[in-house]
Structure 1
Amino acid sequence: MVYWKDHAIGEAARAAAMASKEMDRKFLLLRRYQTWMIILLQIGLIFLLLGHAIISMSLLSLSIGVLNLLYRFSLWVCTTTTGRETRVSAT
């Protein structure tokens, strides 16, 4: 009777150890995937920020170009309507 009880306890302990080992293996695998996912997420965020900066600079350059064209157009309109060249002083 004692043998069967000890055997059952031993089997339960062995099953618990195997389950614990399996859980540890799955946890380590999950931890490894989690690390790679964090690295990939950071790389993605860096590319997203770089893309955002490039688009922002492009839009800024485009808006400066449009303002420059508007300025030149207004100078052209002033020149053609008044018949004399309009100069803007730097002071």
Structure 2
Amino acid sequence: MATINLADYDSAAVRAAARKLSSCAQNLRGGTVSQIQSIKGQIPANLKGEAADALTARVNELSGDVATLLGGINGLVKALNRYADELDATARRLRQQMQG
């Protein structure tokens, strides 16, 4: 009969990875997003015409890329937390079955 070592399924490590990713997202949101907004706000005072339009378009594109990245990170954080919950639930069920 095969043995199962529940310690091999470390939900705490999975949650720690989720927290690290969440922290990265917060740093990205707090730093990069605010810098992008600052740049956008300075364009009208510093550039005119085609140059302003081109930079505005690029900054808007960059803003969208960052939003996509943040969405992906947030989705991964949720998936990791769900996975950790499933690991815990499975470990509980296995313990109950081994006891009963």
Taking structure 1 as the reference length, the TM-score comes to 0.51
**Which residue of structure 1 lines up, in the alignment, with residue 51 of structure 2?**
2
Q: How many residues align?
A: 51
Higher RCO, Cα 8 Å, sep 6+: 2
The answer for unaligned runs of 5 or more in structure 2 is 1-49
Shift of 1:29: 1.1
Aligned pairs for 1:8-87 within 5 A: 8-51=57-100
The answer for unaligned runs of 5 or more in structure 1 is 52-91
Percent identical residues: 6
Q: Which has the larger radius of gyration?
A: 1
Moved over 3 A (4+): none
Taking structure 2 as the reference length, the TM-score comes to 0.47
